[in-house]
Amino acid sequence: MGEINKDLDGVSTQWDDIQAKLGNLPPKKLPFKPPPFTPAEDEASALKDKSWIDNKIEQDLEDLDDDRFLEEYRRKRLSELREATKVARLGSVVLISGSDFVREVSQALPDVWVVVILYKEGIPEYGLLMQCLADLATKYPATKFVKIISTDCIPNYSDCNLPTLLVYNSGAVNANHVGMRSFGRRCTPEGVALILCQSDHVLNDGQGANDRSRESVIWGVHKRFIEKVVTQHEDKDDGYSSD
Count Cβ atoms below 10 Å from residue 77 Cβ, excluding itself: 17
Strand, coil or helix: 175: strand
Q: What is the pLDDT along the chain (243 residues), one digit of tens a residue?
A: 444 455 444 555 666 667 667 766 666 666 666 666 555 544 444 455 556 556 665 556 566 555 555 677 667 766 665 665 555 456 799 999 999 999 999 999 888 899 999 999 998 889 999 999 999 999 888 899 999 999 999 999 999 999 999 999 999 999 999 999 888 777 888 889 888 988 688 888 766 544 445 676 667 776 776 777 677 766 666 655 555
The residues, ordered by sequence, that sit 6+ positions from 217 with a Cβ below 8 Å of its Cβ are 140, 193, 197, 201, 203, 204, 205
Can you give the pTM of this predicted structure?
0.56
Give the sign of the dihedral formed by CA 202, CA 208, CA 210, CA 216: negative
Give the sign of the dihedral formed by CA 158, CA 159, CA 165, CA 169: positive
> Counting Cβ atoms within 10 Å, is residue 135 exposed (0-12), middle (13-18) or buried (19+)?
middle
Position 134 scores a pLDDT of: 95
Q: How far apart are CA 198 and CA 214, in angstroms?
A: 9
Phi and psi torsions of 95, nearest 5°: -75, 130
Position 106 scores a pLDDT of: 93
Position 78 scores a pLDDT of: 67
Q: Cβ distance 174 to 124 under 8 Å? A: no
Residue 109 bridge partners (DSSP):
none
Q: How far apart are CA 86 and CA 206, in angstroms?
A: 12
Strand, coil or helix: 102: helix
Positions of E strands within 3-157: 93-95, 114-119, 144-149
